[in-house]
Structure 1
Amino acid sequence: MLKDITLGQYYPVDSILHRLDPRTKLFGTMIYIISLFIADNIWAYLAATIFLAGAIRLSRVPIRFMVQGLKAIVFLLLISVSFNLFLTPGEAVFQLGFLKITKEGIQTAAFMGIRLIYLVIGSSIMTLTTTPNQLTDGLEKSLGFLKKIKVPVHELSMMMSIALRFIPILVEETDKIMKAQMARGADFETGNLIQKAKNMIPLLVPLFISAFRRATDLAMAMEARCYRGGEGRTKMKPLRYEKRDGAVYALCLVYLAVIAILRIKA
């Protein structure tokens, strides 16, 4: 399951989304996340589905690869859907003792489940089509206005992109440590919740040591290359908007307007 986490990974392929400016992809992702929280009816979610399907098609990333990332949130998804299904008041459809399923609960649970799934897939598209360097440059450019109030935008962008890039690395490291510990007789599956938590200690200790070692190596490598922050730095490949970026901006705004109209008229 650990290897199924797609957030933070980059899928190298030539596509329209890969060639877009990272600022455009950040804007599109933000608009899509906002639209998911605005949507409150089946027509709005249908529009969100069409938009997401189009993005997946343009990215040329296999849908099977993206769906793998959902395995990591199955537990969270079940909890979210169950709470909304059984705790939402309204017109009762089924009742067994103190458990009651309402018509409103079914609708809310369905929308909540779809929203969570779409949030994961939509966010994954951005990282799958954007390299860490592009993501850093895009964040720095997008948040450039904060420099006027002395916010270290470059350093914050670098930290965020490094943290995102470390997700698949640490996941792979965790999988290796788990297999090594299981080969030595460790058991991560059986027992109650407290026993499972205790069994995780042999996994967490070497994982933290490995994470600190990687962080130290990265800091030494950056220092050896005379990294001193963003002040006075130049770009080998400066970001420039193309015509396709303008078209995507317009498409995202039209999409958000459609979602808002569908919400108002519902």
Structure 2
Amino acid sequence: MFDNVIIGQYVPRESFIHRMDPRAKIIAIFIFIVFLFISRHPVVLMLAAILTGVTFLLANIPFRYYIKGMHFIAIIILLTFLLHLFMTNDGRVLLDLSWITIYSGGVIEGSLIALRLFLLVLMASLLTLSTMPMDLTDGLERLMKPLAAMGVPTHELALMMSIALRFIPTLLEETSKIINAQMARGANFSKGSLWTRLKALIPILVPLFIQSFKRAEDLATAMEARGYNGSKGRTKFRRLQWKRNDTIAIGVLLIFALITVIFRVYT
């Protein structure tokens, strides 16, 4: 059930995207997400789609693997589209039945939101697929370094974010094992009323929470045994290096941002 979830996984490859500085990737993703939702113009969305496709090709992630991993996200995107389709009452009537009315505005709004969400998930997933967890932690810490002057524990925050991303596939694997074990004992999660199905989730959630706390305790014990005491006195074995390709990538995203602002202001 959860074998195809790709969020939090890393795929080692020799590609342009993999060689980028993690700080550049995080900044690029931030720029892309912010300006993707600023404009509704078709030209901007087309440019965003082209940019996503080019980034995907440069990352050299196996196409079948990526499409297989998008099955779980496709359900959320479809529900988002249907929600806007049935709840938006703008435009001309396309379908008028006794129990439902579909407007052209609902189709347009649902399509725009679904496309934006799809592109957002693709680009955000590429960040973890092409960046090792330790590099992601270092990049987040360096970007949040100005906050350290105000007493914000930037190292600890970056470490928690990285650990959370790293353990998403592990928790999903644990969930799949628990579900299979419960089904082997006769549990059924696909029949009955909604309330019956919700109650059937209790035998899954309880052992999952127990396993999660146990893993967290084991991780904390292992870190303490190795002398971990936060960022105090720590040095970096691998130093981040900002290269020309990183500057080019950020420049491309800034051009996209500028085009988005132009279409937002003058159209």
Distance 1:185 1:86 in 2: 38
Distance 1:109 1:265 in 2: 24
> In the alignment, what sits opposite 1:13?
13
CA RMSD, aligned part only?
Answer: 1.4
Distance 2:175 2:73 in 1: 17
1:49 aligns with 2:53: no
> In the alignment, what sits opposite 2:29?
29
The one-character-per-residue Cα deviations of 1:206-256 (angstroms, maximum 9, x if unpaired) are 111111111111101110110000122110011111111111111111121
Whether contact under 8 Å (1:44, 1:263) holds in the other structure is no
Could you say what secondary structure the match of 1:207 adopts?
Answer: helix
1:167 aligns with 2:162: no
Could you say what secondary structure the match of 1:82 adopts?
Answer: helix
Q: Which amino acid aligns with 1:161?
A: S
Q: Which amino acid aligns with 2:136?
A: L
Map 1:121-160 onto structure 2 (within 5 A).
Answer: 121-160=122-161
1:252 aligns with 2:253: yes
Of stretches 125-134 and 60-69 in structure 1, the one that deviates more from structure 2 is 60-69
Instruction: Report the CA distance shift for 1:162/1:4 in structure 2 as closer, same or farther (over 3 A).
Output: same
Instruction: Report the CA distance shift for 1:262/1:64 in structure 2 as closer, same or farther (over 3 A).
Output: farther
Give the C-alpha shift of residue 60 in structure 1. Answer: 0.3
Whether contact under 8 Å (1:143, 1:153) holds in the other structure is yes
TM-score (norm 2): 0.95
Whether contact under 8 Å (1:28, 1:252) holds in the other structure is yes
The one-character-per-residue Cα deviations of 1:96-118 (angstroms, maximum 9, x if unpaired) are 12522111111101011111111
Runs of 5+ in structure 2 lacking a partner? none
Distance 1:137 1:129 in 2: 15
Distance 2:15 2:150 in 1: 37
Give the C-alpha shift of residue 265 in structure 1. Answer: 4.0
Q: Which amino acid aligns with 2:158?
A: S
TM-score (norm 1): 0.96
> In the alignment, what sits opposite 2:85?
85
Q: Which amino acid aligns with 1:200?
A: L
Q: Which amino acid aligns with 2:254?
A: L
Whether contact under 8 Å (1:47, 1:259) holds in the other structure is no
> In the alignment, what sits opposite 1:3?
3
Distance 1:78 1:53 in 2: 21
Q: Which amino acid aligns with 1:66?
A: Y
> In the alignment, what sits opposite 1:67?
67
Give the C-alpha shift of residue 66 in structure 1. Answer: 2.2
Could you say what secondary structure the match of 1:44 adopts?
Answer: helix
Of stretches 236-245 and 153-162 in structure 1, the one that deviates more from structure 2 is 236-245
Whether contact under 8 Å (1:154, 1:230) holds in the other structure is yes
Between the aligned residues of both structures, percent identity stands at 41
Distance 1:233 1:75 in 2: 43
Could you say what secondary structure the match of 1:3 adopts?
Answer: coil
Distance 1:20 1:74 in 2: 28
The one-character-per-residue Cα deviations of 1:15-38 (angstroms, maximum 9, x if unpaired) are 111111000000111111112211
Number of residue pairs matched? 266
